């Protein structure tokens, strides 16, 4: 039960507060007027009335610009938070009754091999959320409205210096108002078709890979060299490479017996289960980083994003727990 104060609350007109909040956000009467679909003179009148009500000056009207006064800036900060909370509360109620679109910007192979096979469960549990996917390996731009969330791969910390990880991709160019959370480890394992060694030498230890083609990823140029160095081998002595643009291409080439692929274990679940690929060296993995969910800080608590985030972490399950250790 909510306890309300019996003391009368004095508030200025809501329209005047909204006009000031918008003008202080944009530092422009004209931009505030355009967003609120009123005239610039209406905004000016609302703010003048608010100043009269409060008995203070909120803006310094300069010839070609606006500046908040010290009192105006002090008043604007909690108003921004208050209107953001009003917006989120309204969206939360509306989202329960209307169909909303969740735009996910995701890496191509992650979408194909991990997300899409599981997504039916999310849409069944959330019939009012329509999922739209954009696949890309480019840095995600969360400033764009069409990107509600993004899924990218990176070292465990984005503060790693270049060269300290086999991951070459950049999650985003702008971290302003962006929050990220890791949810799956990026563990690389070597795999091949069970028929690959029938007409060639056995593969019993990493050095035996010299006799076979290594299936290489253009976006993970350092993956095989890292893996080989990790096993005490000189990468320059391994010269037979074939390069592919996406992991799903390298995985398919491995299925067809064209060589040995080094791929994230989360992309190989069905192939290892069916036996179309086998994990070499006992399935020993090499941890290179993690998959991250990225979202705007300002929309982190939005209902559709919150539901997707909770579902994603639930799907990650024990792998998420291991990643947090």
Its sign, for the CA torsion 144, 147, 152, 156, is positive
pLDDT of residue 164: 61
pLDDT of residue 58: 93
Question: Quick one: which H or E segment has residue 88?
Answer: helix 70-95
287 to each of 156, 251, 271, how far by Cα in Å?
Answer: 10, 18, 20
Looking only at the bridges linking them, the beta strands covering 149-154 and 178-192 are unpaired
If you write DSSP's letter for every residue of 252-289 in order, what string do you get? HHHHTTS-EEEEEGGG-HHHHHHTSSEESGGG--EEEE
Q: Which two tokens stand for residue 17?
A: 């507060």
Question: Quick one: which H or E segment has residue 180?
Answer: strand 178-192
Q: Is the CB of residue 214 less than 8 Å from the CB of residue 224?
A: yes
Q: What share of the chain is helix, strand, coil (3-state, %, to 5)?
A: 45, 20, 35
pLDDT of residue 72: 92
Q: Which two tokens stand for residue 241?
A: 């490479």
Q: Is the CB of residue 189 less than 8 Å from the CB of residue 272?
A: no
pLDDT of residue 319: 65
Residue written as token pair 């967003």: 35
- The domains of the chain, with CATH numbers, are 14-95 (1.10.10.10), 101-183+289-324 (3.40.190.10), 187-288 (3.40.190.10)
Residue among 147, 227, 136 nearest 188 (CA): 227
pLDDT of residue 218: 85
Looking only at the bridges linking them, the beta strands covering 241-244 and 178-192 are unpaired
User: Please, what is the end-to-end C-alpha distance for the chain in angstroms?
Assistant: 39
pLDDT of residue 222: 87
Residue written as token pair 């800036």: 73
Q: Which two tokens stand for residue 275?
A: 């036996």
Distance of CA 202 to the CA centre of its chain: 41
How many CA atoms lie within 13 Å of 63's alpha carbon, on the beta-carbon side? 0
pLDDT of residue 286: 83
pLDDT by residue for the chain (325 residues), tens only, comes to 445 456 667 788 889 999 999 999 889 999 889 888 899 999 999 999 999 999 999 999 888 888 999 999 999 989 988 887 887 777 666 666 678 899 999 999 999 999 999 999 999 999 989 999 999 999 998 888 788 999 999 886 544 444 567 787 889 988 888 999 999 999 999 999 999 988 788 999 999 999 999 998 888 888 999 899 989 999 998 888 899 988 999 999 999 999 999 999 999 999 999 999 999 998 888 888 899 999 998 888 888 999 999 999 999 886 655 554 4
Residue written as token pair 């994230």: 264
List, in sequence order, every residue forming a beta bridge with 190; answer none if it has no partner.
262
């Amino acid at each position: 039960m909510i306890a309300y104060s019996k003391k009368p609350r004095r508030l200025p007109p809501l329209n005047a507060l909204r006009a000031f909040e918008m003008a202080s956000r944009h530092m422009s009467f004209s931009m505030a007027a355009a967003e609120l679909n009123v005239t610039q003179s209406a905004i000016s009148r609302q703010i003048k009335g608010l100043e009269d009500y409060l008995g203070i000056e909120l803006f310094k009207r300069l010839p070609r610009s606006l500046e908040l006064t010290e009192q105006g800036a002090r008043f604007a900060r909690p108003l921004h938070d208050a209107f953001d909370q009003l917006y989120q509360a309204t969206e939360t109620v509306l989202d329960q009754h209307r169909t909303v679109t969740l735009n996910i910007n995701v890496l191509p192979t992650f979408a194909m091999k991990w997300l899409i096979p599981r997504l039916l469960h999310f849409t069944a549990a959330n019939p009012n959320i329509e999922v739209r996917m954009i696949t890309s390996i480019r840095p995600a731009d969360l400033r764009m409205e069409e990107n509600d969330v993004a899924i990218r791969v990176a070292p465990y910390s984005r503060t790693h210096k270049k060269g300290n990880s086999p991951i070459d991709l950049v999650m985003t160019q702008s971290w302003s108002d962006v929050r990220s959370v890791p949810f799956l480890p990026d563990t690389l394992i070597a795999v091949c078709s069970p028929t690959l060694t029938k007409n060639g030498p056995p593969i019993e230890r990493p050095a035996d890979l010299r006799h076979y083609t290594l299936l290489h990823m253009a976006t993970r140029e350092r993956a095989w060299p890292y893996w080989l160095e990790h096993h005490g081998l000189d990468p320059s002595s391994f010269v037979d490479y074939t390069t592919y643009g996406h992991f799903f291409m390298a995985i398919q080439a491995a299925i067809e017996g064209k060589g040995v692929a080094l791929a994230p274990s989360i992309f190989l679940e069905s192939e290892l289960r069916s036996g179309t690929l086998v994990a070499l060296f006992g399935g020993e993995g090499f941890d290179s980083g993690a998959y991250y969910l990225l979202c705007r800080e300002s929309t982190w608590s939005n209902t559709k994003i919150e539901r997707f985030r909770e579902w994603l972490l639930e799907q990650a399950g024990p792998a998420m727990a291991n990643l947090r250790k």
